Structure 1
Amino acid sequence: MALINCNYFSFSLKRTVEINVIIPTPEGDEQITDKYTQDFYQYEKGLPVVYLLHGAYGNYSSWTRFSNIERFAQKHCCAVVMASAENSFYQDMEHGGAFYTFFSKELPTLVKSLFPVSKKREDTFIAGLSMGGYGAWFLALSNPTMYSKAASLSGALDIVMLYDEVKKGTIPGPFKWEDIFEDPSHLEGSQADLFNLLTSCKESGTIPELYQACGTEDFLYSMNQSVRDRLKEASVEFVYEEGIGNHDWDFWDSYIQNVLDWLMKK
């Protein structure tokens, strides 16, 4: 496989940014032969692509440093794109970077122009962990015609509940809420509220398929159960999984394999 590190100037963030992109080779596991190269180096139609998001404190390199995502991408023959969002919740920050614009417009345009990825909605996916789990659903529900599937691992999916819990001190968080949102005390019903976005998607008739997983020992487990129950009450089709695990890379490295199985299933 190819792990490509790319530095380029971002117009939306107004600075040079760094991204990692995984491009699978025809045959992995150190078994490349002339036969496989001739048979499978056919990127003309474009590879399925997964935009893979990090959590709080992380960056573009988190998944490649702490998981086996390169090996898993090779197995599924999909491209994986990873970029940094700081602790922005993937928003166009009130005081900070325009990360929503970067991830929803600039980055996909660059990736489709430079790399052998499909431009079709049915081949374009997004996934992430913790803050990135929220980010994956947020970006997909904000752009339902771009992404066909979105997956959350240990996601902070209820932004309203999270803000209330962090404010009370029951959940730790590194977020400078007033820098991210115009008025964090009024997130409910805003464009940052996933349930509001989901309602808009239902009204438009285009809803990305959703996947949710969380460890039973995770500090966000009760939030994920609450989100699961609200989705059921709203009659939203989604996949929910849970298992023994915490808010850590042991869980995420294991369940990202389930995510990729689900994403690539036609």
Structure 2
Amino acid sequence: MASMTCHYYSSTLGNNIAINVIIPTPQGNEQIVDQDVQKQYQYETGLPVVYLLHGAYGDFSSWIRYSNIERYAQERRCAVVMASAGNSFYQDMYRGSAYRTFFTEELPMFITSVFPVSKKREDTYIAGFSMGGYGAWYLALSAPHLYAKAASMSGALDIAVLYKQATGGAIDNPFPWHDIFQNPEALSGSDRDLFALYGQCRNDNTAPRLYQACGTGDFLYEINRSVKKRMEDMQADLVYEEGPGGHNWDFWDVYIRRILDWMLER
């Protein structure tokens, strides 16, 4: 397994950035005994690639530091890409950086040009937790030509309800809402609202397949249950799972394995 941190200038973000990229290798896992290793890594045709998004307070290094994603990627023979988005909800901010443009245009172009990954939609996936759970669905539904599947863990999926709870003091609020959205009071039904985006994709027959997981002890559990019902009412192609756990890496490290298996099933 090759795990590397890349530094380059992003013209979209207007500064030098760092990203983490994992590329599985034919012989990995630090084997200490001779074994027959199945060497079937399609470098020429392109590896499947998963873009992993972080949550609030995190950055491109969160997955590497707190999960076993390197081992999981090696075992499943997929490339993984991680980049930072601040506390932006992965938006082209009203006052701030154009993160949606970066993640849906510049970053995929850079990755497919430099690394042995597939350019095909059916080999391209996106997942995240918390703010990144919303981000994964948002990027996939706003650019459905890019991603075949999108997965959320403990996702802040109902952005309009989250805004009301955050500004009302019900939950922690690290987000500069007006800098991100300009008019967050009008999020419901907008092109930042996942339900509106899904409706458009459904009408265009372009919707990616969706996965949603949340711990029963998570402070976003009730929001996730409500989102599940609304998406099912819209007849979304949705896999929903829940289990014991909270808003933490103990839960996410377990469910990212389930997500990777779901994404890469053939």
Post-superposition CA distance 1:197-227 (Å, at most 9, x none): 0011011011100000000000000000000
Report the residue type matching 1:68 in the other structure: N
The 2-side partners of 1:206 and 1:40 are apart by 31
* 3-state DSSP of counterpart to 2:70: helix
Report how far residue 263 of structure 1 moved. 0.5
Q: Return closer, same or farther for 1:41/1:153 CA change in 2, 3 Å cut-off.
A: closer
Report the residue type matching 1:31 in the other structure: Q
Q: How does 1:215-230 map to 2 (within 5 A)?
A: 215-230=215-230
Give the TM-score, by structure 2 length: 0.97
The 2-side partners of 1:136 and 1:42 are apart by 26
The 1-side partners of 2:173 and 2:86 are apart by 13
Q: Return closer, same or farther for 1:167/1:42 CA change in 2, 3 Å cut-off.
A: closer
Q: How does 1:12-161 map to 2 (within 5 A)?
A: 12-31=12-31, 36=37, 39-40=39-40, 42-161=42-161
Residue equivalent to 1:234: 234
Report how far residue 36 of structure 1 moved. 4.2
The 1-side partners of 2:82 and 2:29 are apart by 22
State percent identity of aligned pairs: 60
Report the residue type matching 1:221 in the other structure: Y
* 3-state DSSP of counterpart to 1:155: coil
Post-superposition CA distance 1:140-165 (Å, at most 9, x none): 00111110000000000000000011
Report the residue type matching 1:66 in the other structure: Y
Report how far residue 168 of structure 1 moved. 1.2
* 3-state DSSP of counterpart to 2:173: coil
Report how far residue 42 of structure 1 moved. 4.3
Report the residue type matching 1:197 in the other structure: L
Report how far residue 35 of structure 1 moved. 6.8
Residue equivalent to 1:194: 194
Report how far residue 34 of structure 1 moved. 9.9
The 2-side partners of 1:162 and 1:45 are apart by 42
Report how far residue 27 of structure 1 moved. 2.9
Post-superposition CA distance 1:114-143 (Å, at most 9, x none): 000001110000000000000000000011
Matched residues, number: 265
The 2-side partners of 1:92 and 1:17 are apart by 17
Report the residue type matching 1:182 in the other structure: Q
Give the TM-score, by structure 1 length: 0.97
Residue equivalent to 1:183: 183
Residue equivalent to 1:11: 11
Report how far residue 190 of structure 1 moved. 1.0
The 2-side partners of 1:41 and 1:238 are apart by 29
For structure 2, the residue ranges without an aligned partner over 5 or more in a row are none
Report how far residue 29 of structure 1 moved. 2.1
The answer as to whether partners of 2:41 and 2:47 remain within 8 angstroms in 1 is no
Report how far residue 233 of structure 1 moved. 1.2
